[in-house]
Amino acid sequence: MSRADIPTFTLNDGNHLPVIGFGTYQLNGREGIDSMMAAISRGYRLLDSAFNYENEGAVGQAVRQSEVPRDQLFVASKLPGRHHKYDQAVVTIEESLYRTGLDYLDLYLIHWPNPKQGLFVEAWQALIDAQKRGLVKSIGVSNFLPEHIDTLIKETGVAPAVNQVELSPYFAQDKQRAFDAKHNIVTEAWSPLGRASALLEDQHLQEIAARYDKSIVQIILRWHFQLGVLAIPKSSNPERQKQNLELFDFALSDDEMAAIKRLDRPDGRINDQDPAEYEEF
């Protein structure tokens, strides 16, 4: 497929994002840059990073070295929990930008709500102000539950453009997706492949994959697409990177979507990280 064939989502702030992106967790240094450049040359246009991945430098380097113009690429990063206080959040966003060496970031998210710490509204205000200053084009959150997003909207009047949450066939997030959709927030899926866990050997998915002569991974990523979810699979392998974009030449039937829905389970998270309890700094 040609690169231009990746459709886009329109965000609630009018900006656009490709419907599938590239996860960069654990892609660091020279090797990481090579993986990201391979991914860009295979057609990915959105790179998902975070301050805590310690690879914003590699992401920026890949973007600068790539032949694809900057305005056709989308770079996302995330604010860590230890810098939610307003002044620290402002400096951290600036630092993220300097680390990439780019003029702006396309998307900046609060990485985790850390509700016990209770500072995410301050952090959100810093993101709102960074967007006004042009440092970041769009702003959003990650791992936010409905009650956290309700608080942001109540306190600031600004809804996130994106909510990036753990989401795979084993943890389908029906309620969170419905809430996000109601607020015109794009739901993004982290660990869409369950980080290559047992999900990739699921018998039901295998049966569907055989019908289309596709891999289980392609079925999973097509399922995300048909749900209207932006998945960000990570692969360090150029052949797998390419396969993971080959989703637009087939469609799952309603029955197949329903069969995949039946795989959803309450304990389907890979590491049991419930954002109501779990905090990350």
Ligand X SMILES: NC(=O)c1ccc[n+]([C@@H]2O[C@H](COP(=O)([O-])OP(=O)(O)OC[C@H]3O[C@@H](n4cnc5c(N)ncnc54)[C@H](OP(=O)(O)O)[C@@H]3O)[C@@H](O)[C@H]2O)c1
Spatial separation of the C-alpha atoms in residues 125 and 84, rounded to whole Å = 10
Instruction: Report the residue number, 14 or 241, with the smaller CB distance to ligand X.
Output: 241
Question: CB within 8 A of 255, min separation 6: which ones?
Answer: none
Pairing of strands 16-18, 8-10: antiparallel
The partner residues of 164 in beta bridges, in order of sequence, read 142, 188
* Complex with ligand X: residue 131 or 244, whichever CB lies closer: 244
Q: What are the residues binding ligand X (CB under 6 A)? A: 23-25, 48, 111, 142-143, 164, 190-196, 200, 215, 217, 232-237, 240, 243-244
CB of 109 to ligand X, least distance (A): 7
- The least distance separating ligand X from the CB of residue 117, rounded to whole angstroms, comes to 16
Q: Tokens 């680390």 belong to which residue?
A: 99
For residues 112 and 179, which CB has a smaller minimum distance to ligand X in the complex? 112
Structure tokens at 263: 């795989």
Active site residue 98: no
Nearer to ligand X, 74 or 190 (CB): 190
- Looking at the Cβ atoms of 18 and 194, the one nearer to ligand X is 194
Residue nearest to ligand X (CB): 23
From 53, 108, 170, 212, the catalytic residue: 53
Q: Report the alpha-carbon distance of residue 170 to residue 261 in Å, rounded.
A: 8
**Of 154 and 203, which has the nearer Cβ to ligand X?**
203
Least separation in angstroms between residue 47's CB and ligand X is 8
d(CA 232, CA 221): 9
Active site residues: 53
